[in-house]
Amino acid sequence: MSETQTKEPTYYNSCYRHGVDEKRRVQVPAKWRPEKEGVELTMILWPKHQAGNCLRVLPPLEMAQMMADIDAMPNGDPNKVVLKRFIGSESVQVSLDKAGRICLPDEMARAAGIKDEVMLVGLLDRFEIWNPTRYETVKATDAVMATEAFKLME
């Protein structure tokens, strides 16, 4: 069996509040860290919420799946090139340092409203990094929508 078939998947669940140091480094929870050293995660400035931008962090397999989904869009769809251009220009590859931290690029941190604290929010197959105040708005909105959303799972 290949390594990808025998390795247990990483699930990004729960929320963690962490400080941001003077070099904009943020501690990633131990259970969220890649098992192998040098694995690059993709950090994207994510503009999809009315509360404001956040940073979305995807492991390699999820980034590959997102790219496959975009590539599967019809070539005539103008959203295809917009997504490629936006994600390509508003993302960076990040690796964890020996202490398990990732560095938030200055421009991305500013665009996401991140200063001295963050909320790391699990999305099961990826995670987001939020300004804590923005995340409280998102959490309240999600709570209102949760009843309807869970009906999709019945």
Fold classification of 3-151 (topology level) = Chemotaxis protein chec (3.40.1550)
Q: What's the pLDDT score for residue 48?
A: 77
Confidence at residue 36, expressed as pLDDT on a 0 to 100 scale: 87
End-to-end CA distance of the chain: 34
Cβ-in-10-Å burial (0-12, 13-18, 19+) of 92 comes to middle
CA distance 43 to 11: 17
pLDDT of the chain along its 154 residues, tens only?
444 455 678 899 999 999 999 999 999 999 999 988 889 999 999 997 788 999 999 999 999 999 999 999 999 999 999 999 999 999 999 999 999 999 999 999 999 999 999 999 999 999 999 999 999 999 998 988 888 888 888 7
Residue 1: predicted pLDDT: 42
Per domain, the residue ranges of the chain are 3-151
**Amino acid 103: pLDDT:** 97
Structure pTM?
Answer: 0.90
**Greatest C-alpha distance within the chain:** 46
pLDDT at 74: 96
Residue 32 CB partners (closer than 8 Å, separation 6+):
10, 12, 120, 122, 127
